Amino acid sequence: MNPRALARLLGGYAVILFFVCVGVRSWFSLSAPANEVVVESWWKDGARIGRSVHASGERADVSRPAAGGVASVEVVTGEGPLYAHPLFFTLGLVPGRDGVKAEIDGKVAYATVDDLLALQAYDRAHLWAAASFGWGTDRATVLHVLSEQLGVRAHEIAERAKLARVRFDRRAVTNAPNANANAANASAPRVTEANLTREVVLRGVREAGMHLARAVDEDGRFRYMIDASTNATLPGYNWPRHSGSTFFLAQAASVLDEPFVRYATLRAAARLRDEMMRECGDHRCVCEDDAIAEIGSSALALIAFTEVVGTGADGGYRPAIAQLAAFLRSQQRADGEFQHQYDRATKRPIDVQFLYFSGEATLALARAHRVTGDPADLEAARRGLARLSGSGWSFFGSRYYFSEEHWTCQAVAELWDRAPDEDALAFCARWHEYQRRLQQDADETPFDADGAFGLGPLVSPRVTPASSRGEAAGALLDVLVRERLAGRGARNDELVLVDRELRRALAFVLRNQFNPGPSHLFADPVAVRGAVPGSPVDWQLRIDYAQHAGSMMVRWLEVDALAAPR
């Protein structure tokens, strides 16, 4: 690149950065309204059935709708400009905190935070990754909400209405109209790293476990993804995530000693063993009827089966464990790396690699060894870990950039008592140091994101990254605590840092778990209770969201018990 081109590139970057900074600043810059406005809405089965807007302190001129429902109170605490142009509009609202005020022909209407959450308008303007991740508020949805109240077409609002960005303080949800807008919310205190207790975490495990157990049908298949607002089952299925969710259900059944969860676990596990295990050459693997099998499905099924056996739920899975372990070993190269696919038609491995699979296979073989006692399983796991944390991640700058290593760190902990690897432990510790620099503080974003992991203030914090990093932090903490109890090593400073990382991540996840969540916005609150959403404003509920969160909680309980004074 020549100097002029570089100068243009840097100049363009500076301009973009300037406008981004101005935009972010505008998110924090709101003027207090001259009079505090209260928006009181009635909700039933997740739909709004009534609304009253009045000044604070005034009695609303509205009676309880004949259909019943519950009332929510949202108070306007600030206003700022909002432009109708799609680009500025979609980026003009802070998801989960801002709504829109529209004034046209002397009439005023509000699209409140509850309105936009119920319709899942936030982070939906631009969708990535098969619609599982997005950013920007959907303009069409906002205009639709306003047009219903104002009695004009949506395009007229965009063309003629005076629009304002409005910051709302969401307060009490009550069963009576004209509620005191200053009433404290009746929900439990906000979970933080400071008030995290075993009771709070156990409740989280119970809620997540019961949610997933309710989602397992008589054939052992999960409701894979649910829209929390409507309780609609969304299309798609994923067998690795089925296996991971079965693993957490086995953990939860053991921790809670809950028969309902245990029976759901066994139905989901039986579906894997009896219907999804198929011939893969000389071995058996988990796959659909496709000719190509991926090792992630077999690895996570193996992890689930080892938990079923290890917790005493059903010892009959031992043969399946040995079969899947043999398949994974057959997919391993001489250098420790795994070939991630198998062609069932030609009966040959396909030497290609994808994210997560090598770590999952390494952890699966390490856990299998505890059941099978086969030295080959232990040696394969040891070589897999050495590859993941050594030669498999060695290039210029590799000490300053990392991939997704939460399975790697769990493999380190699983192998520590039988095949400890100091280099792998150091690799995991560096990864966590890297992640802690991405962990957000309370004052860094306009969201309730303390403890989340992200790259900036423009996107709502995702919940699952905090869960998966929490699983890995719990694994590293497990090793550090055991080393301290054994009187080996001097890693107390690191132990403190990892413990705080884990507690902050866990608190963030628990704050976002539907326990019960904003149930007035749900069509069926019972069906989604205990679930973990994609983000505070993304209410697509995928089974692996609850799985990673629940497994993190279980790991924290184990480490907390280990570290407790005796």
Q: What is the pLDDT of residues 260-318, one digit of tens each?
A: 999 999 999 999 999 999 999 999 999 988 889 999 999 999 999 999 999 999 999 99
Statement: residue 474 has pLDDT above 60: yes
Compute the average pLDDT of residues 342-363.
96
Statement: residue 182 has pLDDT above 60: no
Compute the average pLDDT of residues 512-525.
95
| pLDDT on residue 63 | 56
What single string gives the DSSP state of each residue in 469-489?
HHHHHHHHHHHHHHHHHTT--
| pLDDT on residue 87 | 78
| pLDDT on residue 508 | 97
Domain boundaries, the chain: 27-174, 198-563
Q: Which residue has the higher pLDDT, 354 or 454?
A: 354
Calpha distance 445→396 (Å, rounded): 33
| Contact between 115 and 163 (Cβ < 8 Å) | no
* Tokens of residue 560, six digits: 């907390």
Say if residue 516 is preceded by a cis peptide, omega within 30 of 0.
yes
Statement: residue 563 has pLDDT above 90: no
Q: What is the pLDDT of residues 138-162, one digit of tens each?
A: 999 999 999 999 999 999 999 999 9
Q: What is the pLDDT of residues 189-214, one digit of tens each?
A: 899 999 999 999 999 999 999 999 99
| pLDDT on residue 162 | 94
Partners of 286 in beta bridges: 277
| pLDDT on residue 178 | 44
* Tokens of residue 49, six digits: 């059935």
Mean predicted lDDT score pLDDT of the chain: 89
- Give the 3-state secondary structure of residue 282: coil
Q: Considering only CA atoms, which of 73, 262, 91 is closest in space to residue 175?
A: 73
Q: Which residue has the higher pLDDT, 421 or 36?
A: 421
Where do the DSSP E strands lie in 209-366?
Answer: 225-227, 232-233, 277-280, 283-286, 292-294, 341-343, 348-350
- Give the 3-state secondary structure of residue 172: strand
Cα–Cα–Cα angle for 200, 201, 202, nearest 5°? 95
| CATH code reported for the domain at 198-563 | 1.50.10.10
